[in-house]
């Protein structure tokens, strides 16, 4: 009998629990699309971190003939991994296919 009363009390409590209002369940807000970020690559060791950013006509993915006067530019950022302090006076050799350069 005691168990039956407890079960009835719990069941009645569930009947009085209802949904509450005040929320708008309409369409979700659109997520902003990130555009205009130049292609980049990252490499790191225990001591250094290198970030390479390509800008110019080739970076946008547009054909070369659309912007013949805008040459591609590869910018290198070299810092100490632990402190994020820039490394001054460093020499970096860049090689891609037949292209070779020292930065």
* Annotated domain spans of the chain: 36-103
What's the average model confidence in pLDDT over 36-48? 88
Backbone region of residue 12 per phi and psi (left: phi > 0; alpha: psi in -120 to 50; beta: other values): alpha
What's the average model confidence in pLDDT over 59-68? 58
Interatomic CA distance for residues 41 and 90, integer angstroms:
19
Q: What is the pLDDT of residue 58?
A: 59
Instruction: With a cut of 90, say whether residue 84 has pLDDT above it.
Output: yes
């Amino acid at each position: 009998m005691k168990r039956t009363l407890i079960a009835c009390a719990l069941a009645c409590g569930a009947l009085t629990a209802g949904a509450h209002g005040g929320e708008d369940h309409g369409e979700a807000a659109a997520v902003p699309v990130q555009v205009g970020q130049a292609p980049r690559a990252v490499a790191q060791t225990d001591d250094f971190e290198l970030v390479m950013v390509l800008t110019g006509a080739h970076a946008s993915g547009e054909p070369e003939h659309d912007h013949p006067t805008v040459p591609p530019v590869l910018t290198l950022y070299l810092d100490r991994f632990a402190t994020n302090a820039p490394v001054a006076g460093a020499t970096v050799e860049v090689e891609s296919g037949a292209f070779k350069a020292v930065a």
